[in-house]
Amino acid sequence: MSEQAGNGQSEHGGGEQRPNVILFMADQMRWDVLSCAGHPVCRTPVLDAMAARGVRFANFYSAAPICTPARYSVFNGRHVPVHEGSWNGLPTRDGEVFLPSIMQHYGYATAIAGKLHFDPVEESFGFDDFRTFRSEGPTPERGYEAYMKGKYGELKRDRIQEGTCPWPDDPHGRGVGLFADPPEDIDTSWITRQTLEALDLLEQSGKPWFLFASYHDPHSPFVEPEPYYSMYDRGSISLPDIPPEIGTLRRDARGSQEVNHLIDDPAMLCEITAIYYAATTHVDDDIGIVLAELERRGLTDNTIIMFMSDHGDMMGDHGRMYKQAMYEGAVHVPLIVQVPEFLLPGLTPGRVVEEITGHVDIVPTVLDLCGLPVPQGVQGKSLAPLCAGESAGWPDEAFSWMLGVRYTRQEAYMLGTKRMLRTPEYKLTDYGADFRTRWELFDMTKDPAERHNLADDPAYDSVLRALAARLDEWEAEEPLLVQIPGMATPSYSYVPADRRAALDAEYDAGLRRQAAWRWPEQ
């Protein structure tokens, strides 16, 4: 099926007919917020229809419950301890190869519209056309922040209409409200326009193409324009049941001291949840705009269409908000794959795959379906067999890994690592020896809400030991660097001195928000 299998060929690709690929990504979207996954309130008709035409993966897991490390794994098919891009603002180790560069190498035109969140921020990472949400890439003047600065004179992305935020002095509540500017200027709408413009350029190239359409929503801050802002009745929102004992599990929550008051304020949590649903529906609607354009151009039948999220949001579960947790709300994310019939003849529309899968499986899936070799060093496996209903030999496990973090009101600092293993029956999380409770073991078949930690139960000692041994075995893996014949080995560890002056000038001019290129000398 791939070079991993020893023959360098794809079993499922379309031969000489290369399909196009569009990969939609949402930021911080939980798996269970889709109505096709059973959500009783939030409406996602476009993604529901996509799932009905394609395949929905019911147990798909993030490689890390934080943006940049997860996104690296999506695009290079390798786990965080291997690529070493372990935190927002950090690059991967030198030599890591990303999917857009591979597609570019094999003759694809490539483009991004929206959020990438890679570092160094000035790199193109294999995209021919670069129009990003943040001030990234070789053309920051084409980014959303530059657009807002040019129109309104400031970089601020989520301008809130005065009087619509009930908590203007709260560190979290002040990021909640009605978008102050015209609806077409919210980032979701801007990203959709850029996606359509990128599609024009890709089609003009005369090549097969790869397009990454990456939305920032429903990530905080929670700001939406009408009609989305008022779409969900606050009275219809059901808040999570947080047992008192769960409070002890807040020990390593992101910003735990600051957000505890938020979780304990039903009005604020209800408002945030309603806008989170609204942002999800907004993304769903805008994906529908892009899909309609694909259909209008006659491209649907030759395009692989994928939708996923980088990580989830706890939304009050376990007394937590946002990300950086190994509970389902943060690491369990949606994946929907729609494959042209000529690539997988006889595929059953509406299939729901229950096997455990994860971010590292995206690269081998795209390459396999495009008829391209999957190089050695990629740790994931192609999902094409699962799409076709072939599950024999599937490993049925997923891993997530991130640096452990504790926040105080004044500072943040790294502390060890968190490691998670999910199997069909169990989930084991290792918080490290320095945390109050090192292990959490849940029987996911009996306790999907993860309320009863079995780690100290003698009856589960052998289970814990076996899963812990598998975690150690996985973390010790040292696959070869991915090497593509004819491709130069990339370097990300520092920006040459002769580029820094230009980057500094762009930063000073307000075209770039970050100074992440200021790496030490080689």
pLDDT band at 499 (very low <50, low <70, confident <90, very high): low
Give 180-219 pLDDT, tens digit per residue.
889 999 999 999 999 999 999 999 999 999 999 999 999 9
pLDDT attached to residue 515: 41
**pLDDT exceeds 90 at position 408:** no
Mean pLDDT score across all residues of the chain = 85
What integer pLDDT is reported at residue 46 of this predicted model?
98
pLDDT at 13: 53
Which of 389-393, 415-419, 450-454 shows the lowest per-residue confidence on average (mean pLDDT)? 415-419
Of 25-29, 156-160, 258-262, 329-333, where does mean pLDDT reach its minimum? 258-262
- Which among 92, 100, 23 has a CA at the least distance from the CA of 310? 23
CA dihedral angle for residue 129, residue 134, residue 136, residue 137, rounded to 10 degrees = 0
Rg of the chain, C-alpha, whole Å:
22
Question: What is the architecture, at CATH level 2, of domain 18-396?
Answer: 3-Layer(aba) Sandwich (3.40)
For residue 166, give the nearest of 278, 269, 264 by alpha carbon.
269
Query: Which tens digit of pLDDT belongs to each residue from 49-81?
Result: 999 999 999 999 999 999 889 999 999 999 998
What's the rounded mean pLDDT across residues 135-157?
80
pLDDT over 90 percentage in the chain:
56
Question: What local confidence, expressed as pLDDT, does residue 300 receive?
Answer: 97
Tell me what the mean pLDDT of segment 101-109 comes to. Answer: 96
What tens digit of pLDDT does each residue of 241-264 get? Answer: 776 656 444 444 444 445 555 666
**Nearest-5° Cα angle at 489, 485 to 492:** 150
Residues 6+ apart with CB under 8 A from 183: 189, 225, 226
Q: Is pLDDT at 1 greater than 60 in this prediction?
A: no
Greater confidence, 521 or 502?
502
**Residue 127, pLDDT score:** 92
Is residue 420 pLDDT above 90, yes or no? yes
Q: Which of 158-167, 211-220, 271-280, 464-473 has the lowest average pLDDT?
A: 158-167
Does position 409 have pLDDT exceeding 90, yes or no?
no
Q: Which residue blocks in 205-325 are alpha helix, DSSP H?
A: 256-263, 266-296
Looking at residue 498, its pLDDT comes to 59
What is the model's pLDDT at position 156? Answer: 65
Question: Who's near 304: CB < 8 A, 6+ residues apart?
Answer: 19, 20, 21, 22, 337, 338, 339, 340, 343, 366, 369, 370
DSSP letter at 465 equals H
- Between CA 309 and CA 57 the distance in angstroms is 12
Question: Looking at residues 28-40, what average pLDDT do you find?
Answer: 96
pLDDT of residue 380: 96
Give me the sign of the Cα torsion angle 251, 252, 257, 259: negative
Predicted confidence (pLDDT) at residue 357 exceeds the cutoff of 50: yes
pLDDT of residue 268: 84
Return d(Cα 28, Cα 323) in angstroms, integer: 8
pLDDT at 197: 97
Structure confidence by residue, pLDDT tens digits, 424-469: 999 999 988 766 678 999 999 999 999 899 999 999 999 999 999 9
Q: How far apart are CA 409 and CA 58, in angstroms?
A: 37
Q: How far apart are CA 216 and CA 165, in angstroms?
A: 21
Q: How many CA atoms lie within 13 A of 460 on its CB side?
A: 18
Nearest-angstrom CA–CA distance, 124 and 135: 12
